[in-house]
Amino acid sequence: MAEAASEGATPPHHGLPDEIFIWEILVRLPPKSLLRCRAVCRAWRSATSARGFLLAHHARQPTLPLVYVRNRDFNDGVFPYGHDGNNASLDIIPVDHRAAADHLRSVARLDQASDFYRLEGSCDGLLVLSLDDDTHFVICNPATLIAGSKDDCYVLSLGSGQPPRNIGPEQTHKLISDTRSVLFRGRLYWYRVQEKVKNNMIIVFDITAESFRQMHVPVRGCTGDDLFEMDGMLGMSSFRDTWTIIDIWVLQDYESEVWTIKCKIELPLMEIRAWCRKDDELCELVVVPGDGELLVLIKFAEWLFQVGMDGKLVATFHRKGVRPTQFQLKQTLVQHDFFPTLEGYVVNNFPFI
């Protein structure tokens, strides 16, 4: 009877060899789709749970810029998720220019978040969010919505199994709450705007030595504040007085702190204003690295525009309340061992919807 059942069963992949189906098809799926595929059969669940497969799957995921949307009123018909008008949420959304605007989907949605949570960082497939007064942080893997929280400021060695190390709140709280950072070659970099002095600096935190130092910016009184990695070098954007041209600088000589201009991006402002039928100033602009090139995200009115290094529009999205960030997400299902070491470790629980 067992043989008859086996012979009559139809393979879920219609006879394709498992080797091809697993390593050529399943490895290319988005994380959520892959998790659903594990319910098809035990062989798929076993193969797609192996660390080697998960690393290969992570390597094939696109690196996408992140935006967020604060939803203060669910009765406006934009995000009707069954909540009443007294609640609010925060949606974190990866922007893929290959998808239609109405197909953009959030990877994490936080309940009652509009007055409390902010997206502070993204690294190794994880998101870092701050709570209220910047003394409480939530770290989550949006692919699985496993999250942990900690008070104060800590250094987390991902994958080491070691507990977080407290580095003290005084300087890090000020940096995290005021500026944006980038991780490059084992160091965190913040561009700190000092309004009372014109000699702005970049603050560097060495995550191994756990020490701070300062670096010079490419131009005295630089008006840009986006730091990023470009072609294996630290990069920074700088705006002209007219806000129509972005200069892209790279740190050519790290030891001597010598910056050179990599390229200039002329923004299509007239085209953007014509598209929105408004002549207002730009609301918000960030420069983020994409897969192999830089991208410029521009918020104008209720629109989000994605501009390439050649100054041409790549994509347009109409979404009420959308805000660009400098962060990127490359989703992963690889397990991070430090989650169970964190106080407040939860799976699919508040504050995530």
CA angle 107, 119, 197 (to 5 degrees): 150
pLDDT for position 243: 72
The residue type of 326 is Q
**Alpha helical stretches, state H, 22-88:** 31-37, 42-47, 51-60
Specify the 3-state DSSP secondary structure of 180: coil
Nearest C-alpha neighbor of 130 from the set 174, 161, 86: 174
Cα 92 from Cα 105, distance rounded (Å): 9
Total tally of structural domains belonging to the chain = 2
The answer on 93 and 53 residing in a single domain is: no
State the pLDDT confidence band at 28, using cuts at 50, 70 and 90: very high
pLDDT for position 78: 42
pLDDT at residue 247 is higher than 50: yes
Q: What is the CATH number of the domain that holds 154?
A: 2.120.10
State the pLDDT confidence band at 223, using cuts at 50, 70 and 90: low
Domain that holds residue 32: 2-58
**How many Cβ atoms sit within 10 Å of the Cβ of residue 342?**
19
> Which residue pairs from 47-51 have beta carbons closer than 8 angstroms and sit at least 24 positions apart in sequence?
47/18, 47/22, 48/22, 51/334
pLDDT for position 250: 93
pLDDT for position 282: 66
The answer on 134 and 31 residing in a single domain is: no
For 157, the token pair is 């060695």
Side by side, which strands form the sheet with 284-289?
A: 284-289, 294-300, 303-307, 313-318
pLDDT for position 110: 81
The answer on 228 and 270 residing in a single domain is: yes
For 178, the token pair is 């005021």
The answer on 194 and 154 residing in a single domain is: yes
**How many Cβ atoms sit within 10 Å of the Cβ of residue 91?**
23
pTM greater than 0.85 (yes/no): no
The answer on 76 and 44 residing in a single domain is: no
Of 118 and 272, the one with more pLDDT: 272
The mean of the pLDDT values for the chain is 76
Listed ranges 33-42, 53-62, 153-162, 275-284; the one with the highest mean pLDDT:
53-62
Nearest C-alpha neighbor of 207 from the set 169, 159, 156, 171: 156
Task: Classify residue 140: in a domain, yes or no.
Answer: yes
Task: Classify residue 104: in a domain, yes or no.
Answer: yes
The answer on 47 and 67 residing in a single domain is: no
**Percent above pLDDT 90 for the chain:** 18
